[in-house]
Structure 1
Amino acid sequence: MTIADADGQGQGGGVAQAWAALGGASGLAGRVRYRGAGDLGEGPLPVAELARSTVGACALAAGELAAVRAGGGPDDVAPVVVDEGAVATAFVSERHLRVEGRAPVNFAPLSGFWRAADGWVRTHANYPHHEAALVRALGLPSATPEALGAAVAGRPAVEVQELVYAGGGLAVAVAEEYGEPQPLVEPVRVSGARGRPLGPAPAGRPAAGVRVLDLTRVIAGPVATRTLGLLGADVLRVDSPRLPEADDAYADTGFGKRSARLDLALAGDRAVFEGLLAEADVVVSGYRPGALERYGLGAAELLERWPGLVVAELCAWGWREVGPWAGRRGFDSLVQAGYGIAAACAAPGGGGVPGVLPAQALDHGTGYLVAAGVLRGLAEGGGRGLRFSLAGTGSWLVRGLAGAGTGTAGRCGQGAYSAGPWLREVDSGYGVLRYAASPLGEWGRGPSRWGTDEAVWLPRG
């Protein structure tokens, strides 16, 4: 990893690379400083550098927005200090979560690596509908690891992948080589219009008064929006009542926001949603390409109707039409498998068994990049669309960061360090939560229960 020197200034170019990709003014990346020590393990890929760089870029974007709202410019951005231990803890926040003392189950029994006839397959079956689709697609006699292992073992990996995807499930053949290069950030449209004027913000809350409509699920998008909420934004997450969320997932990522359910296929709910859009400053979406366009909610459509918005879209596999992956669902673990990262993390002498990064770093890193992109968009006056993807962050990890020589040879794995100073407890809609603090500040209160808030904005101010 990149090490902080004695006075806390980071060495290496990860944050500069991320800041440049976000369109930030050259030279500002040098104002990010790091202190303390964190440990995300040693491995062939620079995961710790990805973590500290994405958080550093997000903190810098928050500082830039604060300076702009105070009437200043790039020269007025204050130096930013990021704690390495807080970053390491936040990047595995789901592992530190305790709900009334209970540890969550982060991966279901049918989620994992399975040996196929000619390689390996990674499945994701954490949601009941994905598990049911996996069982159905492969004709399993029972929803057990033994039945799944036997079914996969008799087929080529790509055949399993295609059968399961065709049946509505999630499975990816483990790739031995890195995937096609993808951009870290892709600007898709600048409307030329300015958003609502933003006056000075309270200290530590540069996004105060900003309304963020959150159309994201699972980790990357919710990490972005919980970060914006921490920085003062009024974040309202909206989900379909036909897509239930896992309580443990929302207990971890529901900080800094409220949550409501609306069915956009119903006229009354769509009218409520249109009212929310009309008063929003930011829309963050996390569905696969094409999923929201059928509702007229793609970036181009949104900016046509509300040209002052900042729209951030993220997906798993990237926005370029690359083979069979265009428009497919995906999660961090699947992108690691399909992009060649899992193979790179295989244990030496372990018979080729794929490995994993020491954190779901594609999710968390992309989340901080999305938040940074939104903050930069607000600092620039609004009226722009940005795209992000887990594959884009993976491409940066294996090419941009690894090419800078920040990796350490050896197996990917979780290092040992004390997370205690960055763990907190709070009451919530789920009871008492132990959770990982954000490296950018404190939320102050726990999340409500998913889908139980009113679909209304809070008063500005």
Structure 2
Amino acid sequence: MAHSSSSGTAQAWSALGGDPALLERVSYEGTGALPSRLPVMELARSTVAVCSLAAAELAARRTGGPVPAVRVDDGAVTAAFLGDRLVRVDGVAPTTFAPLSRFWRAADGWVRTHANYPHHRTRLLDALGLPAEADADAVAIAVGQLPAQTVEERVYAAGGLAVAVRSEQEWAAHPQGAAAAGHPLLVMERIGDEQAPRAVGGPAARPCAGLRVLDLTRVLAGPVATRTLALLGADVLRVDPSGLPESQEAHNDTGVGKRSARLDLGSAAGRAVFEELLASADVVATGYRPGSMDRFGLSPEELAARRPGLVVARLSAWGRYGPWARRRGFDSLMQAASGIAVIEGDQDRPGALPAQALDHGTGYLMAAGVLRALTEQHERGGARLVELALSQTGAWLVHRLVRTPDRPSDPYDASRWLTEKDSPMGRLRHVLPAVSYAGGPADWDRPPGIWGTDAPEWR
């Protein structure tokens, strides 16, 4: 099935500051399968489209030729948005959610928790007054005795993650929901005054060749963005704190094309290595809770002062505004808080989107913002900031995209968008990139490695 246009693509491209005339370079085809009451397929199609168009635009700047045509296939987009579920190592599927990451019935409604990481599980149990060995039955009893918002506040006070399930109307009345409604889909601004553009050339198939990306992001949106930059030829080095655990299963999906190292920024030696990496970085992507990295001088302005001409892409869950600005958050929690879970559920229980669509969509928007910033730099120089939040992508989905239900008419088979290759973990199956344009790359140049084991140095 072909699609002649996408209003979502036009909205996102406008938010990115793109030339509207370039939308004529985009065409749509194929059939997807992200069934939902909200326009999830439109969100997915649009974010991949603008990312592909931004890549094509940068390729044209680097080669001096015309902007290549972009063809968006809904089947490939669907596979990409389901990629964290479709990845396999030696035929083994990942565990996407831990047993204590789910909906729970509270005394007056529902609560959604996120406890995939061991430290989040511990904090959840502590907040509920439960022992470390407590199981799901014990959590269900404890949550069932409390109002949903009491659980939300207790768990967050303990450093864990839980939100009360709210309707669309309840979220609109909440100070954080009202704040989100008043902000744009994303922000792009100039944060440095130096004029000289950084001269980097590259072939159309790898328009980011020669660029170095310092990746300070974690599951899932940020790694999707930097994975896309790696596809386009950038040297992407992901750096994680030495003491914070990460899921190798998640890295199997989002670590393709990258290398991954660990650094203790609190130590003099670790900080020295980081500053050496920053000194020749072209892009820094951050995805930690607002305020959590301030002591390391990682604000966009401080980074750009130390590395003139830098592009900084900054991602948060709830945005840098409102009472929840410094709270941790994940896609599943955003769905629960913002009314999406109620919209997608029924009278018996809340529901969920057919994919982690806020994460994936925000990731493609983040990559698109970096690519557009690089294009603008090519002409006018200057350090740039690209800022996004899962809450803004959620507000876009609920309030600004045309709400037409997505109901695929045919069974969906992802096999044509899957590939297999040997990796350090075993035989890896992963999804091929949905971001594509004429003459662009068809796959990443390397599989993911073992998380955190690469040397913290540029290639």
TM-score band w.r.t. shorter chain? over 0.9
Deviations 1:226-278 (A, max 9, x none): 11000000000000111111110111111111001100000011001000001
Q: In structure 2, what is the Cα distance between the partners aligned to 1:195 and 1:376?
A: 17
* Farther-moved stretch of structure 1 (147-156 vs 132-141): 132-141
Q: Which residue of 1 aligns with 2:140?
A: 149
Choose the corresponding residue for 2:375, options 375, 379, 385: 379
Measure how far apart 1:196 and its partner are.
5.8
Measure how far apart 1:344 and its partner are.
1.1
Deviations 1:139-188 (A, max 9, x none): 12443110110000000000001111111111010111243313211235
Measure how far apart 1:415 and its partner are.
8.2
Paired residues for 1:49-64 under 5 Å: 49-64=42-57
Choose the corresponding residue for 2:126, options 120, 127, 136: 136
Q: In structure 2, what is the Cα distance between the partners aligned to 1:121 and 1:189?
A: 40
SS at match of 2:85: helix
Paired residues for 1:202-281 under 5 Å: 202-281=203-282
Paired residues for 1:33-432 under 5 Å: 33-41=27-35, 43-71=36-64, 76-141=66-131, 142-177=133-168, 178=171, 179-180=177-178, 181=181, 182-194=183-195, 197-320=198-321, 322-323=322-323, 325-347=324-346, 350-351=347-348, 353-381=349-377, 382-401=382-401, 404-405=402-403, 407-408=404-405, 416-432=411-427
Q: State whether residues 20 and 26 of structure 1, in contact with CA within 8 Å, keep that contact through their aligned partners in structure 2.
A: yes
Measure how far apart 1:81 and its partner are.
1.1
Q: In structure 1, what is the Cα distance between the partners aligned to 2:189 and 2:154?
A: 33
Q: In structure 1, what is the Cα distance between the partners aligned to 2:406 and 2:90?
A: 39
Q: In structure 2, what is the Cα distance between the partners aligned to 1:150 and 1:296?
A: 44
Deviations 1:426-453 (A, max 9, x none): 1112111111111123114311111111
Is 1:434–2:429 an aligned residue pair?
yes
Q: In structure 2, what is the Cα distance between the partners aligned to 1:283 and 1:409?
A: 36
Q: In structure 1, what is the Cα distance between the partners aligned to 2:208 and 2:406?
A: 40
Q: In structure 1, what is the Cα distance between the partners aligned to 2:292 and 2:411?
A: 41
Q: In structure 1, what is the Cα distance between the partners aligned to 2:451 and 2:85?
A: 20
Letter matched to residue 215 of structure 2 = D
Measure how far apart 1:189 and its partner are.
4.1
Runs of 4+ in 1 over 6 A off after TM superposition: none
Q: Which residue of 2 aligns with 1:4?
A: 2
Q: Could you tell me the TM-score, scaled by structure 2's length?
A: 0.92
SS at match of 2:327: coil
Measure how far apart 1:12 and its partner are.
3.0
Q: State whether residues 60 and 204 of structure 2, in contact with CA within 8 Å, keep that contact through their aligned partners in structure 1.
A: no
SS at match of 1:82: strand
Q: Which residue of 1 aligns with 2:14?
A: 20
Letter matched to residue 71 of structure 1 = G
Letter matched to residue 35 of structure 1 = E
Q: Which residue of 2 aligns with 1:447?
A: 448
Letter matched to residue 239 of structure 1 = D
Q: In structure 2, what is the Cα distance between the partners aligned to 1:147 and 1:197?
A: 57
Q: State whether residues 40 and 415 of structure 1, in contact with CA within 8 Å, keep that contact through their aligned partners in structure 2.
A: no
Q: In structure 1, what is the Cα distance between the partners aligned to 2:445 and 2:213?
A: 19
Deviations 1:403-429 (A, max 9, x none): x34x2189xx99840001011111112
* Farther-moved stretch of structure 1 (134-143 vs 212-221): 134-143
Letter matched to residue 33 of structure 2 = D
Deviations 1:386-405 (A, max 9, x none): 1101001001101111xx34
Q: 1:194 to 1:428 in 2, by over 3 A?
A: farther
SS at match of 2:230: helix
Letter matched to residue 245 of structure 1 = E
Q: State whether residues 191 and 301 of structure 2, in contact with CA within 8 Å, keep that contact through their aligned partners in structure 1.
A: no
Aligned length: 438
SS at match of 2:103: strand
Q: State whether residues 52 and 84 of structure 1, in contact with CA within 8 Å, keep that contact through their aligned partners in structure 2.
A: yes
Letter matched to residue 350 of structure 2 = P
Letter matched to residue 103 of structure 1 = A
Measure how far apart 1:369 and its partner are.
0.4
Q: In structure 2, what is the Cα distance between the partners aligned to 1:244 and 1:400?
A: 37
Q: In structure 2, what is the Cα distance between the partners aligned to 1:64 and 1:338?
A: 36
Q: Which residue of 1 aligns with 2:439?
A: none
* Farther-moved stretch of structure 1 (369-378 vs 292-301): 292-301
Measure how far apart 1:340 and its partner are.
1.2
Q: State whether residues 201 and 209 of structure 2, in contact with CA within 8 Å, keep that contact through their aligned partners in structure 1.
A: no
Deviations 1:187-225 (A, max 9, x none): 354313257633431231111111000000011000000
SS at match of 2:20: coil
Q: In structure 1, what is the Cα distance between the partners aligned to 2:397 and 2:263?
A: 37
Q: State whether residues 70 and 199 of structure 1, in contact with CA within 8 Å, keep that contact through their aligned partners in structure 2.
A: no
Q: 1:389 to 1:430 in 2, by over 3 A?
A: same
Q: In structure 2, what is the Cα distance between the partners aligned to 1:195 and 1:415?
A: 52
Measure how far apart 1:46 and its partner are.
0.3
Q: State whether residues 194 and 307 of structure 1, in contact with CA within 8 Å, keep that contact through their aligned partners in structure 2.
A: no
Letter matched to residue 359 of structure 2 = D
Q: 1:416 to 1:123 in 2, by over 3 A?
A: farther
Percent of residue pairs bearing the same amino acid type: 58
Q: Could you tell me the TM-score, scaled by structure 1's length?
A: 0.92
Q: Which residue of 1 aligns with 2:438?
A: none
Q: State whether residues 358 and 414 of structure 1, in contact with CA within 8 Å, keep that contact through their aligned partners in structure 2.
A: no
